[in-house]
Amino acid sequence: MGDMTETLTHPTRSEIRIESVLHALADPVRLQIVRELARIGCDGVACGAIDLPVTKSTRTHHLRILRQAGVINVRPVGTSRISTLRRDDLDALFPGLLDSILAAPQ
Amino acid sequence: MGDMTETLTHPTRSEIRIESVLHALADPVRLQIVRELARIGCDGVACGAIDLPVTKSTRTHHLRILRQAGVINVRPVGTSRISTLRRDDLDALFPGLLDSILAAPQ
DNA sequence: ACCGTACTACGACAATCGTCGAACTACGAT
DNA sequence: ATCGTAGTTCGACGATTGTCGTAGTACGGT
């Protein structure tokens, strides 16, 4: 598919800010995405394969916010985009953050 | 001062939800408040004693959100209200969450 | 070349949010 | 009783946000 104007930019590890990460995680849909990506693991998953109570365009919106915050990595594969959690980066920057959130009820 | 209509309600430990906590922490002013309360410790501090780039009423607003999310405890003392971090509750519910956020840069 | 799949881009919309000022209440001190 | 201090309440405002539908783009397969 195409990135069109925005070239699938990811922040480097050192560019990730706790504020943006918290903001990205402070939405129920995005939290659901993160939980799902954590469950699936390193393989990642296509955006559309996660079942969510929102439309395609809203999905894209949430995935962009997660990507720009440095929470997920997105790489194009064929016509799909595979998303993965940036576990290593997040664990290195904010050790315990992701674990505590993923361990929380719901 | 007075609680007027809202009687300074706090969620019990079991009522605290990760989503509300993340939402509460996902604001620069509120994060600043939490950092300051963590620095001060168990003694707590009056709302007005924390210097913030916002007016009194905005302070009240942010403190209410933090309180209702279960992040802080507020008790009236004289004409003031002393706020403290609910460290024990948060650490018990989401071990590592607060530590990782407080350890993060900024 | 065409079609289907997968996703992005672009408005548009309602809802929420952070902010403020002005008015109010509560408490302590004089 | 009066006054000052500390904080809350109540609109109001602009900005941001989450949502959608429609249209568009990219890629793989036939």
**What's the whole-model pTM score?**
0.92
In whole angstroms, how far apart are CA B92 and each of A104, B51, B96? Answer: 11, 29, 9
Say which of B22, B99, B101 has its CB closest to residue A26.
B22
State residue B47's pLDDT score: 86
With an 8 Å Cβ cutoff, are B97 and A95 in contact?
A: no
Q: Please judge whether A18 and B95 are an interchain contact, meaning their C-beta atoms are less than 8 angstroms apart.
A: no
Instruction: Output the six-digit token pair for B65.
Output: 């959100």
**Mean pLDDT of all residues in A63-86:** 96
Predicted confidence (pLDDT) at residue B96 exceeds the cutoff of 80: yes
Cβ-Cβ contacts under 8 Å, B100 against chain A = 94-97, 100
The per-residue pLDDT for range A16-73, each reduced to its tens digit, is 999 999 999 999 999 999 999 999 988 889 988 999 999 999 999 999 999 999 999 9
Q: CA triplet B96, A13, A101: central angle to 5 degrees? A: 25
Give the pair of three-digit tokens for residue A16.
């990730």
Question: Which residues of B fall within a CB distance of 8 Å from A87?
Answer: none
Nearest Cα neighbor of A77 from A55, A47, A51 is A47
Look at residue A7 in the predicted model and tell me its pLDDT: 78
The per-residue b/e assignment along A10-36, b for 16 or more CB within 10 angstroms, e otherwise, is bbeeeebbbbbbbbbbbbeebbbbbbb
With a 7 Å cutoff on the CB, does B59 touch strand C?
A: no
Q: What percent of chain B has pLDDT over 70?
A: 94
**Which residues, listed in sequence order, are joined to residue B73 by a DSSP beta bridge?**
B84
- Is the distance between the Cβ of A103 and the closest atom of strand C smaller than 7 Å? no
> CB of A97 within 8 A of CB of A17?
no
On the question of pLDDT at A89 being above 90, the answer is yes
Inter-axis angle of helices B28-40 and A18-25, nearest 10: 110
CA dihedral B91, A15, B40, B73 (to 10 degrees): -50
Count of A-B CB contacts under 8 Å: 65
The answer to whether B105 faces chain A, any CB pair under 8 Å, is yes
> Nearest to residue B32, comparing CAs of B54, B56, B9, B11?
B54
Q: Greater confidence, A2 or B99?
A: B99
Return the amino acid letter for B9. T
Average pLDDT, chain B: 93
